[in-house]
């Protein structure tokens, strides 16, 4: 998902989409996410652009194994962006990630290995600058997610933004888009749960991940998280 504007990162995002904000010279959030996915063994990537989508397309023009699809209605939230990827992904199982998250390859490996449907859930979130801002997960005793949301009254884990998916996620997004203007990925999960689907909580406790929504979170990612992550990707920012 690389469609969002990222208003809280203005004025940086007045000139580029959030996915192209740099963590280091020449290393954008999107580029880092793609390198992590490839390090996890995922070779075919679909990127959904939206705000300033032409800039995302330009940045990825020379990339092999990457297909870009655009969501012209990116303001309808990331669940609607997910729906735009349906034709490119088809009926294959896939791993869904957010370009504005930094995360280590092991999260994507666990999602791919667990199979659909599931979400990597962290019980500690020790790398988050502000855990209160994160989306929460309430996981039942059987290991299935009962609810996702930022305002849950009771919860026992954090949504890392790394999902194991199949075509049922597209079905959920399509059904919700008929009923609501804005659709989030969390809405899709909650819809499937309401339909009796077990959405597994994949344990990701202690793994490195963080969302980058604010200038403070961006600086935290640059200063504290990127050096750690680069050591797990070979220790350099170059191609």
Q: Give pLDDT tens digits for 109-141.
A: 999 999 899 999 999 999 999 998 899 999 999
**Average pLDDT over every residue of 7-15:** 95
Q: Is the pLDDT of residue 237 over 90?
A: no
Q: Is the dihedral of CA 44, 83, 163, 50 positive or negative?
A: positive
Tell me if residue 232 falls in helix, strand or coil. coil
pLDDT for residue 79: 97
What pLDDT digit, counting tens, does each position of 207-228 carry? 999 999 999 999 999 999 999 9
Supply the pTM of this predicted model: 0.95
Region 49-63: mean pLDDT is: 95
The closest of 186, 175, 202, 187 to 108, measured between CA atoms, is 202
User: Would you list the domain boundaries of the chain?
Assistant: 7-231
- In this prediction, residues 144-171 reach a mean pLDDT of 97
**Residue 35 pLDDT > 60:** yes
pLDDT digits (tens, 9 = 90+) for 177-201: 999 999 999 999 999 999 999 999 9
Task: Note whether 199 and 193 are within 8 A (CB).
Answer: yes
Domain 7-231, CATH class in plain words: alpha beta
Do 46 and 56 meet the contact criterion of CB atoms below 8 Å apart? Answer: no
Helices (H), 103-166: 105-114
CB 57 within 8 A of CB 17: no
pLDDT at 206 over 70: yes
Residue 179: the pLDDT is 95
> In this structure, what token pair is assigned to residue 189?
């999960």
CA triple 237-238-239, angle to 5 deg? 125
**Sequential DSSP letters for 45-113:** EEEEEBTBHHHHHHHTTT-TTEEEEE-TTGGG-HHHHHHHTHHHHTTS-EEE--TTEEE-HHHHHHHHH
Q: Mean pLDDT over residues 70-91, rounded? A: 96
Mean pLDDT over all residues of the chain?
95
The half-sphere exposure of 148 on its side-chain side, counting CA atoms within 13 A, is: 28
Residue 234's pLDDT is what?
A: 79
Distance CA 103, CA 229 (A): 8
* CA–CA separation, 206 and 82 (whole Å): 27
The position carrying tokens 């935290």 is: 220
- Report the distance separating Cα 6 and Cα 13, nearest Å: 6
């Amino acid at each position: 998902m690389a469609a969002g504007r990222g208003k809280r990162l203005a004025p940086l995002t007045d000139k580029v989409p959030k996915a192209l904000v740099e963590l280091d010279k020449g290393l954008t959030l999107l580029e880092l996410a793609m390198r992590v996915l490839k390090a996890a063994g995922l070779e075919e990537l679909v990127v959904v652009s939206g705000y300033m989508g032409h800039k995302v397309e330009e940045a990825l023009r020379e990339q092999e194994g990457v297909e870009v699809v655009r969501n012209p209605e990116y303001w309808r939230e990331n669940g609607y962006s997910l729906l735009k990827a349906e034709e490119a992904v088809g009926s294959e199982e896939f791993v869904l990630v957010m370009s504005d998250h930094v995360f280590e390859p092991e999260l994507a490996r666990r999602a791919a290995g667990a199979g659909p449907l599931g979400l990597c859930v962290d019980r500690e979130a020790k790398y988050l600058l502000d855990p209160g801002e994160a989306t929460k997960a309430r996981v039942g005793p059987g290991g299935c997610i009962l609810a996702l949301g930022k305002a849950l009254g009771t919860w026992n884990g954090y949504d890392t933004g790394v999902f194991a998916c199949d075509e049922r996620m597209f079905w959920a997004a399509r059904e919700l888009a008929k009923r609501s203007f804005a659709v989030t990925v969390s809405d899709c999960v909650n819809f499937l749960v309401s339909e009796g689907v077990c959405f597994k909580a994949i344990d990701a406790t202690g793994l490195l991940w963080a969302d980058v929504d604010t200038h403070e979170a961006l600086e935290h990612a640059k200063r504290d998280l990127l050096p750690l992550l680069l050591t797990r990707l070979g220790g350099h920012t170059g191609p």
